[in-house]
Every structure is written in C-alpha cells, then in structure tokens.
Chain A
Amino acid sequence: AQTVTQSQPEMSVQEAETVTLSCTYDTSESDYYLFWYKQPPSRQMILVIRQEAYKQQNATENRFSVNFQKAAKSFSLKISDSQLGDAAMYFCAYRSLRTGTASKLTFGTGTRLQVTL
C-alpha cells in the first residue's frame, strides 16, 4: 500500500515571501499522479496543483509550483509571493494508475500554513 508523509505539521511565512512544503511518498509503482490540495477554514477541499509521474517537467500553476523528484519519492510545493489567502491546511495526495484502484486518493496528514504580515 502507498503511504504519503508530510513531516511539517505547521509552517509560517511572511506575506510576499516564498515557502516550501514537503511531501514524501512510498510506492512500488512507476505510473501515478501526485496532488496538492488546499483546505481553508471553510473546509472545502481545493485542488492546487497536480503532477503526472511520467512527466519530468515540474508542474506550475501561477504562484504555485512543485519540485518532483521521482527517484527520491519527493514532491514539495513552493508558494511564491505568499498572500494572506494562502493560509490553510495543505495536503499532499497520491493516486495510483493501476487498474482496479478506482482513482482513490491517499492523503498525507497535512501542513498548516500561517501567513503573517
């Protein structure tokens, strides 16, 4: 079974600065997806960014980018020019592409990001 580990329970960043959230995962599979989800106080799960394992190029979405190191099984999220609205819980998630897995997601325990003035 796959596992996802987020070793930083809490992080803090000043507004306009850059912060990196860490995620490692364990799998024996070669094809999979990785995701970062944001959960603000409203509890709504919001997809931030995704990465296909077969792509060497790191995904980017505006101020959000990832550093995907497949051999090291590492998938960190970088938030640039942090804004107050970025304050939330961030979850790393893994999705197997193996037949029969029904696109299920395996989540890490989350990192709470604080953004200060």
Chain B
Amino acid sequence: NAGVTQTPKFRILKIGQSMTLQCTQDMNHNYMYWYRQDPGMGLKLIYYSVGAGITDKGEVPNGYNVSRSTTEDFPLRLELAAPSQTSVYFCASSQRGQGNYNEQFFGPGTRLTVL
C-alpha cells in the first residue's frame, strides 16, 4: 500500500493563479482531510469529507474548494491564489468509526509558495 500520496511536492504560484492539489489514498478510508501548516504553527483543518459526495468546511476554508467524487481521491482547489495561502498542505485519511480508535494517516505534504 502506498498510503496517502500527494502531488505535487512543491509549487510556486503567482498571485491570482489557480491550482489543484491532488490527494489519493489506497486504504479504502471513508474520511479524508485537508490541513494547512503555516511556518512555526500547528495544522489547521481546511475541509474534510466523510465519504464520496460529502464534504464540509473546517476551521479555515476561505479561498479553497474541494470535491470527493471517489473514495480514493480528495483534490483541493485554490482559486485566485494569495500570499496568505503560502503554506504546507497535508492530506490525511482515516477509517470511519466514531467510537473506535482509527489512526489518521498523513501524506508527505505539498509546499506551496504564492508570490
């Protein structure tokens, strides 16, 4: 199993450009998440999904969009990139089971710089 994979690893965008960060998991997990990590800070939740076709906002959703058409994929779309979106983006997934312990597995991250 590859686990959670993210592409690209690095990207530089100009202000106003758009891009999609890709995330794929091969563990058949129901839950998927997008976090951002600003320099010297913890991870903050952008969006999450509890299954194909179902997404919801997290703590910092402004400037982003997501979709979940399959169990495996959970792309994050940045429209009109701004310098404030310079960050490291992590995708994660976990199995469903509210009362059970289900570890959240993280991808390797995408470092995005907006100039």
Contact A102:B44 (CB < 8 A) given known A43-B108, A44-B106: no
Interface residues of B (CB under 8 A from A): 31, 33, 40-45, 48, 50, 56, 58, 88, 90, 92, 94, 96-99, 101-104, 106, 108-109, 111
Inter-chain CA distance A17–B106, complex, in Å, is: 30
Interface of A is mostly: loop
A109/B40 in contact, CB under 8 A: yes
Tally the A-B contacts, defined by beta carbons under 8 Å. 57
On whether the beta carbons of A104 and B42 are closer than 8 Å, the reply is no
List chain A residues, Cβ under 8 A from B94: 103
Given A52-B101, A97-B98, A107–B42 Cβ distance below 8 Å? yes
Question: How many angstroms from the CA of A43 to the CA of B112 in the assembled complex?
Answer: 14
Query: Which residues of A approach B to under 8 Å, CB–CB?
Result: 4, 6, 9, 33, 42-45, 47, 50, 52, 91, 97-99, 101-110
Cβ-defined contact, B108 with A105, below 8 A: no
Contact (Cβ within 8 A) A45 B42: no
Cβ–Cβ < 8 Å partners of B97 in chain A: 103
